[in-house]
Amino acid sequence: MTNWVGRTATEIAAAVREKRATPHEVVAEHLARIELLDARVGAFRRLRAAAALAEADELAARADLAELPLAGVPLAVKDNLAVRGESTRLGSAATPDTPADQDHVTVARLRAAGAVVVGLTNVPELCVFGTTEGVHGTARNPWDTTRTAGGSSGGSAAAVAAGMVPIALGNDGMGSLRIPAANCGLIGLKPGFGTVPAGIGNGDWFGMSENGPLATTVEDARLMFSVLAATEPVHAAEPVERTIAVSVRSPLIGVTISRPYATAARQAAQLLAAAGHQVRRADPPYPLWLGTTSLAHWTAGTAVDAAGLDPRQLTRRTRVHAAVGRRFVGSVRRGARREQLRTRMEPFFTKHDVLLTPALARRAPAAANWHERGWLRNLLANTNYSPLTPPWNLTGWPAMAVPFGTLPSGAPCAVQLVGRPGSEAALLELAGQLEELRPWRRTAPLA
């Protein structure tokens, strides 16, 4: 019998369409892996074993099975997006345990394409932080379980990296897809504003949050992105020569980039230059006020999402974060700083098609009870390891994490690609070249 665990979504869907595998057997094998490993990894808040198998059987009877791009592919969904019949808890004790009466639009699109939702994945409370832990569990990096998977899509990334599912749905408000993707050796694509339906929390963190794919290959990320964006499949194209700026400068004063991540960016730049691209060292014109602006937007988004919840059931770090943010809600909603940042960055991206940076500044914090620690300690831990992702939520432009090399610990390292609006296909193309030139191990070696 063929083992479908560890296969790509593209391979699984082709096998199901061609009747070389049934959705039931594919889903059952992945459920068995989850049962085997998730006590060590902590990816899932809620496993839908019986429901997923029943839905797999229903899928097998669909008349259009042979046409579905994600036929029979097991899917994990971040626990801030509605899944019909399941509660959406956002990593908190303060949220109601009330089943959703319909799927979020992105979940609906993936299901319509043939994907089977096997469970909802762990997140930090209200999806605020770059580590994933709380009352529903701690998501660990399958490559190094002493370290956090990242956040806030930490459970989704851990599930994919551990081979529990081939793809997962997450979202990104200040790096929440790219951070865990970088930690866990995955492709994590944050689409540009309006490309994929958002509908995340109470206003998408003022339009900064985007839904996107987590996958082990560029091909799978490309396939999932086309379903989420409701576009014709984006096929790999012949490489086009592009002008690429490489920068290893931190956007935030006082935060430095560690040697492994800086080296990864430089080596990726060298490979792309050898492949025929015009690569030059150039730093984006990050403004001095970027740090305070990022903090204002980050906290204000939490203030809006926390409104109406019982503060006694929120953790102290979340309460403080929301309290800080309440003073910024008005100014953030007006959007002046975001518009200033876009105006400031546009000339840079007129000269350069793509920006290449390290994905993170240093390895992830330890997997620990960060939700029981103070707000300032969480703030510093998050800021010091992920200063490179927030600018592109503020601009609303596409950005993605791409695995590249390894850290001294043996865990994956990663780079970030950023483009102007509408450049998702170009970013995927460059990521595909990096994948071909420097392949990565797709699944963590968990026994």
Please say if 409 is a catalytic residue: no
The interaxial angle of helices 316-326 and 375-385, nearest 10 deg, is 80
Please say if 19 is a catalytic residue: no
Count of helix runs (H) and strand runs (E) in the chain: 16, 13
Which residue of the set 92, 152, 153, 209 is catalytic?
152
Query: What burial class does residue 249 get, using C-beta atoms within 10 Å of its C-beta: 0-12 exposed, 13-18 middle, 19+ buried?
Result: middle
> What are the DSSP calls for 234-257, one per residue?
---------EEEE----SSTT---
Q: How far apart are alpha carbons 420 and 40 in whole angstroms? A: 39
Q: How far apart are alpha carbons 199 and 210 in whole angstroms? A: 9
HEC assignment per residue over 287-354: CCCHHHHHHHHHHHHHHHHHCCCCHHHCCHHHHHHHHHHHCCHHHHHHCHHHHHHHHHHHHHHHHCCE
Given a contact cutoff of 8 angstroms between Cβ atoms, the answer to whether 173 and 205 are in contact is yes
Bridge partner list, 354: 244, 419
DSSP type of residue 363: P
What are the backbone angles phi and psi of residue 417, rounded to the nearest 5°? -115, 135
Distances from the Cα of 407 to the Cα of 65, 340, 387, angstroms: 42, 36, 18
Query: What burial class does residue 372 get, using C-beta atoms within 10 Å of its C-beta: 0-12 exposed, 13-18 middle, 19+ buried?
Result: exposed
Please say if 152 is a catalytic residue: yes
- Walk across the sheet containing 278-281 and list its strands: 44-47, 116-121, 74-78, 167-172, 210-215, 187-190, 399-406, 412-419, 354-358, 243-246, 278-281
- Return the number of other C-beta atoms located less than 10 Å from residue 275's C-beta: 15
- Token pair, residue 434, equals 């990096």
| Bond before 92 cis per omega within 30 degrees | no
Please name the residue that has the structure tokens 């001095």. Answer: 288
Which residue of the set 176, 247, 294, 386 is catalytic?
176
Which residue of the set 78, 153, 250, 386 is catalytic?
78
Residues forming the active site: 78, 152, 176
